[in-house]
Amino acid sequence: MRTALVLCGLGVAAAAGGCGIADDRDQARASASQFFAALQHGDGATACDHLSPATASNLEQQEKSSCPKAILGQSLGGGSVQRVRVYQTDAVVTLSDGEQAYLDRRAGGWKVSAAGCKPQGDAPADCEVAD
Amino acid sequence: MRRFVRENGLALGFGFIFLAALVGQAIVGHAAFNDDAIAHHGGTMSLWRYVTSSSFGSDVMENWQSEYLQFTLFILGTIWLLQRGSPESKELDKAGQESDEEQKVGPHADSRSPRWARVGGLRTRLYQHSLLLVMGAIWLGTWVAQTVTGHVAYDADQLSHRQPPVSLVGYVGTADFWNRTLQNWQSEFLAVGSMAILSVYLRARGSPESKPVGAPHEATGVEG
> What is the per-residue pLDDT across B3-33, written as a single tens digit (0 to 9) for each?
999 999 999 999 999 999 999 999 999 999 9
Supply the DSSP string of B207-220, one letter for each residue. Answer: -TTS--TTS-TT--
The yes-or-no verdict on residue B108 having pLDDT over 80 is: yes
Answer yes or no: do B56 and A15 touch at CB < 8 A: yes
Q: Give the pLDDT confidence score for residue B9 in this predicted structure.
A: 97
CA–CA distance, A28 with A87 (Å, rounded to integer) = 11
Question: How many whole angstroms from its chain centre is CA B117?
Answer: 26
Q: How many angstroms away from the CA of A124 is the closest CA of chain B? A: 5
Q: Give the pLDDT confidence score for residue A79 in this predicted structure.
A: 79
Residue B88, chain A, CB below 8 Å: the answer is: no
**Pair A51, B88: CB distance under 8 Å:** no
> What is the per-residue pLDDT across B81-99, written as a single tens digit (0 to 9) for each?
999 999 999 999 999 999 9
CA–CA distance, B154 with B181 (Å, rounded to integer) = 14
- The type of residue at B64 is W
**Pair A115, A121: CB distance under 8 Å:** no
Q: Give the pLDDT confidence score for residue A20 in this predicted structure.
A: 63
Answer yes or no: do B162 and A114 touch at CB < 8 A: yes
CA–CA distance, A109 with A103 (Å, rounded to integer) = 10
Q: What are phi and psi of A120, to 5 degrees?
A: -125, 50
Q: Give the pLDDT confidence score for residue A5 in this predicted structure.
A: 43
> What is the per-residue pLDDT across A3-55, written as a single tens digit (0 to 9) for each?
444 444 444 444 444 446 789 999 999 999 999 999 999 999 999 999 999 99
Beta strands in A1-131 (DSSP E): 81-87, 90-95, 100-106, 109-120, 123-130
The yes-or-no verdict on residue A65 having pLDDT over 50 is: yes
CA–CA distance, B119 with A113 (Å, rounded to integer) = 66
> What is the per-residue pLDDT across A85-100, written as a single tens digit (0 to 9) for each?
999 999 999 999 999 9
Answer yes or no: do B152 and A87 touch at CB < 8 A: yes
Closest chain B CA to residue A114: B162
Looking at chain B, the whole-number percentage of residues with pLDDT higher than 90 is 96
CA–CA distance, B31 with B25 (Å, rounded to integer) = 10
Rounded to an integer, the average pLDDT of B163-187 is 97
**Pair A90, B156: CB distance under 8 Å:** yes
Q: Give the pLDDT confidence score for residue B111 in this predicted structure.
A: 94
For the beta carbon of residue B80, count every other beta carbon within 10 angstroms: 10
Q: Lowest mean pLDDT of A20-29, B59-68, B174-183, name the range.
A: A20-29
Q: Which of B160, B218, B145 is nearest to B38 (CA)?
A: B160
CA–CA distance, B27 with B34 (Å, rounded to integer) = 11
CA–CA distance, B87 with B196 (Å, rounded to integer) = 8
Provide, as residue numbers in chain A, all residues whose Cβ is less than 8 Å from the Cβ of B51: 11
Q: Which of B62, B52, B26, B34 is nearest to B176 (CA)?
A: B62
Q: Give the pLDDT confidence score for residue B216 in this predicted structure.
A: 96
Rounded to an integer, the average pLDDT of A92-111 is 94
Q: Give the pLDDT confidence score for residue A4 in this predicted structure.
A: 42
Q: Give the pLDDT confidence score for residue A22 in this predicted structure.
A: 84
The yes-or-no verdict on residue B222 having pLDDT over 90 is: no
Q: Number of A:B CB contacts under 8 A?
A: 92
Q: How many angstroms away from the CA of B164 is the closest CA of chain A? A: 6
Rounded to an integer, the average pLDDT of A50-62 is 96
Answer yes or no: do A89 and B156 touch at CB < 8 A: yes
> What is the per-residue pLDDT across B141-153, written as a single tens digit (0 to 9) for each?
999 999 999 999 9
